[in-house]
Amino acid sequence: MSEKLNELKEILGEVRDLYHAASVLEWDQNVSMPPGGSEARGQQLSTLGKIAHEKSTSDKVGKLLDELKKEFTDKDSDEAALIRVTARNYEKSTRVPASFVAEQAIVTAKAFDVWVEAKGKSDFSIFQPHLERVVEMTQKYISFFPPADHPYDVLLDDYEPGMKTADVKEIFDHLRPQQVKLLKAIRSAKQVKDDFLFKKYNEKKVWDFGEKIITKFGYEWSRGRQDKAPHPFQTTFSVNDTRITNRFEPNNPLSTLFSAMHEAGHAMYEQGSNPAYERTPLAGGTSLAVHESQSRMWENLVGRSLPFWEHFFPEMKKTFPSQLDGISLKTFYKGINKVEPSLIRVNADEATYNLHVMLRLELEIGMIEGKFAIKDMPEIWNSKMQDYLGIVPPDDAHGVLQDVHWSNGLMGYFSTYALGNLVSAQLWEKINKDIKDLDDQIRMGKFDSLLNWLRGKIHIFGQKYDPQDLVQKVTGSKIDAAAYVRYLTKKYSDIYGL
């Protein structure tokens, strides 16, 4: 290996160490930090972010990249991929002053703690000034870049490289009417029973059952753990330390199971990244849409499937005999897949979930454009919920305050949730062609073949390939809605007799 490449890797390794150290602090902030620590935590994150930014945008890195581009010309090599991804990150990062990175860390650390308080009190006014500041910082961030076709393109590219706002709108414009058509058909059919899902379930038993499921999936506890947090998430400190968090909702107790599956899907992607990419920008998932395809696949295409519950339901009944007394496998399967417009995105059924995402995309674009005043967001949110889903939240906690992302400054993120659904279905069709007896394996509680397929086709490549190129390489087409529409139509036609 060239001396210059080793020199670049050493710098990149130090930068990754700093970012991972910041991730540890952010994980602690969500899991166990006392409320009084928020100001100091913001300063700590600010310092780490500033140092990492300065290291990654140094003139030395720029010079090494210029020289290495000429040395490594084989586009398929890991070395060329590392240089390409690093150069892209460098070009973007050098536009952003280190002082801005430091300030943003302080702003979002404060905003997160206030969001927790505001959500607990269901009072948006508490969070409003902090969201205003987050939006101001986001608009300032956009200003560092050349004018794009749409200002939102700058944000989207951070999470889904190469994707444009116009691309997402085109995909959503194609998907929305087909999902609405399916919803209308479901609404005209006989509704399924699901009251047994909302009885009182023992929290520890639900938590333990979820851990049993994800252990069978292949989540490696020697390289991970699960803790409680206000909002479920996955975080990575290294390929050998990928953690998940979860929560228990007394009013929707079994959501803990599906959150465990979802976050484990993210974590197993990270655990499967090529160890050779450790401490480089090639480590981890290639984009949030591809990342989300993994979590949504394990949560829904596996975890809400009939073969899955043919295996797990007998044990489920033994664990919760009174709650599931008289409930058949078929009734349970239909219940967990009931289609009904709901207030909370993370608990939404598959047929309505994407509509939640489309709503948030519209709101984020409106905030960035200055079309929507932040003070009016609860009212706008409720109005859009009525338009998209036909329901209105009773309070801010179930409406505009339900998600953590804006408090963390994560704007440009939401469309990737729906895009991930589409990719999951595209991959699923390919997987079922390659693993002919997949349903039978799931029925027996065996997930090795599925995980190994994902490891070999998706996980191992980390960020070597851009998301659209990876999806094309594996499925034969770029991100497209057709497979997801086929999946939803077949599944819900069977459940509702359409």
CA distance 354 to 1: 46
User: Does residue 301 contact residue 425 with C-beta atoms inside 8 Å?
Assistant: yes
Query: Collapsing DSSP states into helix, strand and coil, what is residue 209?
Result: helix
263 is catalytic: yes
CA distance 52 to 381: 36
CA distance 457 to 165: 27
Give the 3-state DSSP-derived string for 408-438, with helices as H, strands as E and coil as C: HCCCCCCHHHHHHHHHHHHHHHHHHHHCCCH
Which one-letter DSSP state was computed for residue 345?
G
| 254 contact partners, CB below 8 Å, separation of at least 6 | 197, 201, 206, 336
CA distance 401 to 377: 10
Q: Of 104, 86, 92, 454, whose CA–CA distance to 279 is shortest?
A: 86
Q: Which of the following is catalytic: 26, 160, 263, 350?
A: 263
| 34 contact partners, CB below 8 Å, separation of at least 6 | none
Assigned token pair, 97: 């002053």
Query: Collapsing DSSP states into helix, strand and coil, what is residue 227?
Result: strand
Please list, residue by residue across 132-155, b when 16 or more beta carbons sit within 10 angstroms of its beta carbon and e when fewer do: bbbbebbeebbeebeeeebbbbbb
Q: Where are the alpha helices (DSSP H) in 338-447?
A: 350-369, 377-389, 415-434, 438-443
Q: Of 341, 280, 285, 230, whose CA–CA distance to 83 is shortest?
A: 280
Assigned token pair, 211: 């851990």
Assigned token pair, 160: 């889904």
Using CA atoms, how far residue 77 sits from 81, 86, 465, 468, in Å, is: 6, 14, 11, 18
Using CA atoms, how far residue 174 sits from 129, 179, 205, 386, 481, in Å, is: 36, 9, 42, 21, 8
Q: Can you tell me which residue has the tokens 């690093």? A: 86
CA distance 484 to 497: 19
Which one-letter DSSP state was computed for residue 464?
S
Q: What are phi and psi of 386, to 5 degrees?
A: -65, -45
CA distance 432 to 307: 14
Assigned token pair, 222: 């020697």
Which one-letter DSSP state was computed for residue 284?
S
Residues across the chain: 498
Active site residues: 263
